[in-house]
Amino acid sequence: DESKVQIESLDEVVILESVDSTNSYARQQLGDLFPPNRKRWGELSLISTDDQRSGRGRLDRVWSAPAGTCLCSSFIIRPHANPKNQLPQESFHWFTLLVSLAAVQVWKSWGTDAAIKWPNDVMVGGKKVCGVLAQLVVEPNGRFSAVVGIGMNLNLTASDLPVDTATSALVETGREFDMEQALTELGDTVARYYRAFSAVGGDASAPMLGGLSLLDMVRNNMATLGQQVTVHLPGDEKVVGLAVNIDDDGAVVVRESDGTERAWAVGDVVHMRP
């Protein structure tokens, strides 16, 4: 069962009563039902539910929350649907940080001290409130699109939290949040950042909003910087050091005790822990 809500800044917003995963649903829409639904999804659309039965994180990890507590959403981003598109495919890897940043702004407007934990978590007080999962889709016409999913822990009580590293807006503020209102705030903020990023041709270092670049804003809202971290690489390999920067490609730069600095891209890293 699906219903629609109107968010001015987005082409289409579909609310599902329940679904296995909004990311899987979005990817199916772009593949299987294409081209009949091509127009429908436009350039920037949103699929959302508060009852996601089989949510996934990176590396097939599980994202879970009791029905009715977590706002689970996927943005469908199809730059080529815009005839004036200026975003090269190489810039798509910024979408994870762009959506994380948008979520941070929304959580800050709720009075929480939210920040990004590189590369795809939003944290409040050292605990995780949102996770972001971006996936590239090749449509049957050969064009590239992105599906960027985000789970936002809104109304989970302390006993609903699935892991002890998680927290929620309810736990942090003592208030209940309206799902549709939160969805509108998130949708509008992502749309604003996406359009500004698109207008500068996907250059993360180019000034876009209030004279700040996407990279500036990401750095300014990054909990990871200045932290001692352990980077877990595939095959049990680990690197320990100080996270000193986010480089021009969005990779995290870690300074080891011998002074060497190396940049780690999302694809290299299994986990990064304080």
- Whole-number Cα distances in Å, 99 to 11, 17, 103, 187, 241: 17, 23, 6, 10, 27
Q: Binding marks (x or -) toward ligand BT5, 214..253, rule CB under 6 A? A: ----------------------------------------
Separation between Cα atoms, residue 124 and residue 107, nearest integer Å: 9
Bridge partners (DSSP) listed for residue 212:
209
CA distance 112 to 98: 19
Site string for ligand BT5, 42-61 (x = CB under 6 A): ----------x--xxxx--x
Instruction: Assess 64 for contact with ligand BT5 (CB under 6 A).
Output: yes
Least separation in angstroms between CB 257 and ligand BT5: 27
Q: Is 132 in the site for ligand BT5 (CB under 6 A)?
A: yes
Pick the closer one to ligand BT5 by CB: 120 or 213: 120
Cβ–Cβ < 8 Å for 124, 167: yes
Regarding 112 and contact with ligand BT5 (CB under 6 A), the answer is no
> Does residue 273 contact residue 229 with C-beta atoms inside 8 Å?
yes
* DSSP 8-state class, residue 209: B
Q: Are 204 and 198 in contact (CB under 8 A)?
A: no
Query: CB 21 → ligand BT5: shortest distance, Å?
Result: 3
Task: Tell me the residue ranges of DSSP E strands in 170-249.
Answer: 228-232, 238-246
Query: Which two structure tokens, joined as six digits, stand for 212?
Result: 């700040």
| Residue nearest ligand BT5, CB atom distance | 131
Measured from the CB atom, the residue of 25 and 193 that comes closer to ligand BT5 is: 25
Cβ proximity to ligand BT5: between 42 and 57 the closer is 57
The interface with ligand BT5 within residues 137-196 (CB under 6 A) comprises 149-151, 153, 162-163, 166
Q: Which of 27, 46, 78, 131 binds ligand BT5 (CB under 6 A)?
A: 131
Determine, following the binding rule CB under 6 A, whether residue 29 of this chain makes contact with ligand BT5: no
The residues pairing with 15 across neighbouring beta strands, listed in sequence order, are 3, 48
- CA-closest candidate to residue 77, choices 228, 197, 250: 197
Binding site for ligand BT5 (CB under 6 A): 21-23, 52, 55-58, 61-65, 70, 72-74, 120-121, 128, 131-133, 149-151, 153, 162-163, 166
